Amino acid sequence: MSETDTKILNDLRILVVDDERDILETIEDLLDGSDVAAVDNYQSALDTIRAQHLDLAVLDIMGVNGMQLLNDTVALGIPTVMLTAHSLNPETLRESLDAGALAYLPKEELSNLDTFLADIVETHRAGQSTTALLFDKLGKFFDRAFGNHWARNDIEVWQAYGYFPPF
């Protein structure tokens, strides 16, 4: 996706929740054209979710009770992307997708957040599978991070999410 394609994010109200201030600042910079509400704790996030219209949420898993926030955003119909470094494993990937996250982004890929979110928003608006897009973009990353055969035990689950491992 090119730089101009990120315009789909312009003027969106995006909640970003992470307990690391430097991560919040980086995301605010990456989402320059968006109206970003950046908060660093669960309660502030919950207050924001309840008080404002949000077009998208980007939630860290650790440090801010991200999985509970995911339940809260999904219950309110807010499209949500999970972001993680310390919880990067097949179990939280599956838990996030099963709970309704549109995608799951490793913080190692943070520099691509704007184009990744633009792709997710565009795909979601078109009524297409955001998880298939996730695995198209990050399947090889997950294979490197989790090991080549990480999906073997739950192959039917991952195929249902649009991931067809190369083994």
CA-to-CA separations, 95 to 13, 39, 72, 88, 162, in angstroms, rounded: 25, 23, 15, 11, 16
Would the pLDDT of 3 be above 50? no
> What is the per-residue pLDDT for 96?
97
Residue 120, in any domain of the structure: yes
Average of per-residue pLDDT across 75-86 = 95
What is the tens place of the pLDDT at every residue in 52-65?
Answer: 999 999 999 998 99
The reply to whether 91 falls in a domain is yes
> What is the predicted pLDDT for the residue at 166?
77
What's the confidence (pLDDT) of residue 80? 98
> Do residues 85 and 109 make contact, with C-beta atoms less than 8 angstroms apart?
no
Predicted local distance difference test score (pLDDT) of residue 15: 98
Is 4 within a domain? no
Q: In degrees, to the nearest 5, what angle opens at C-alpha 54 toward C-alphas 46 and 160?
A: 90
In-domain check, residue 130: yes
CA angle 84, 89, 92 (to 5 degrees): 70
Structural domain harbouring 131: 10-160
Q: 3: number of CA atoms within 13 Å, CB side?
A: 2
Q: Note whether residue 47 is domain-resident.
A: yes
What letter represents residue 81's amino acid?
V
Q: Has residue 95 been placed in a domain?
A: yes
**Tally of structural domains, the chain:** 1
CATH number at residue 112: 3.40.50.2300
